[in-house]
Chain A
Amino acid sequence: MLECKDLTCVREQRVLFKQLNLIVKPGEILHIEGPNGVGKSSLLALLTGLSSAYSGDVYWQQQKITAQRETYYQDLLYLGHKSGVKAELTALENCQGFQRLYSSQTDVDLYDVLLKVGLVGYEDIPAAQLSAGQQRRIALARMYFTECKLWILDEPFTSLDKEAIKSLETCLIKHAQQGGIVVLTTHQALSIPEANYKKLFLTKATVEEHYV
């Protein structure tokens, strides 16, 4: 269960958001929407613990993430704007790297996983020669062999074609139904069953309450 208590985020002396409270229970998909520059990525950076908030805390399983960084990261899968795929390595090698670097099922057949993300035939070509969309699919392949319960995705659908978006959506829904949690930001409309769909609309801090 992911929770934030009156989170305030200040970037370069600008208040992005203030007193943000948030609870995401297992089985829920939280869709964070908002105009550009309102601080969506900064909020995700705070949730992953990569950056620290001006005040307020983020809790995972009722414990502050800053206190239990290593255990928290065992349950966390994060996909940022940058895909995290090394261009010199092939799709296969990248996946092996992900497998070892994160807690994941090692008995899974990588060729099968790459098939699922639509990279059949591209397994042993250096990622540099693949398109941006294909490189993104290598990063998405992690979802098929990860044991992490919490997925935090920063605009996962960018540079993906229709069919890849469809399969990613089903994967998210399957993960949520198995008791996982998904937090994602995207400008696309999502077709996710009402039961586990939650929306958060981040607004630009209005002028008055700009001063904390």
Chain B
Amino acid sequence: MAFTSFSDFLAMGGYSFYVWLAYGVSLLSVITLISHSVLTRKKIFKQVAQRLQREKRIKAANNREHNL
């Protein structure tokens, strides 16, 4: 272990601000990337589902017209 104690580890030999800032921002950007990808996937599924509803309504309207 290169550090004597956990608080020493946090201090990072006096550079704690820069090291943790760099790691924090990197983690943040990876998280935004992942969440954006997952959200687009959900959005596409919702879009297709909506389209299915729309077409079901059109078909129902056509059927009602035919058997009037």
Contacts and interface: CB of A to CB of B under 8 A. Distances in A.
Contacts of A207: 55, 58-59, 62
A210 B59 CA distance: 12
A207 B58 CA distance: 8
Nearest to B55: A207
A207 B59 CA distance: 8
Number of chain B interface residues as a range: under 10
A16 to B, nearest CB: 16
Contacts of B55: 207, 210
Interface in A150-183: none
B44 to A, nearest CB: 10
Interface string A199-212: 00000000100100
Contacts of B62: 207
Query: What is the size category of the interface that chain A forms with chain B?
Result: under 10
A210 B58 CA distance: 13
A210 B62 CA distance: 16
Contacts of A210: 55
Nearest to B48: A13
A74 B61 CA distance: 49
A17 to B, nearest CB: 17
Contacts of B59: 207
A210 B51 CA distance: 12
A207 B62 CA distance: 11
Nearest to A207: B55
B43 to A, nearest CB: 13
Contacts of B58: 207
Interface string B32-68: 0000000000000000000000010011001000000
B55 to A, nearest CB: 5
A161 B62 CA distance: 40
A179 B55 CA distance: 46
A10 to B, nearest CB: 14
Nearest to B62: A207
A207 B61 CA distance: 12
B31 to A, nearest CB: 29
Nearest to A211: B55
A91 to B, nearest CB: 49
A207 B54 CA distance: 10
A210 B56 CA distance: 13
Interface of A: 207, 210
5 contacts: A207-B55, A207-B58, A207-B59, A207-B62, A210-B55
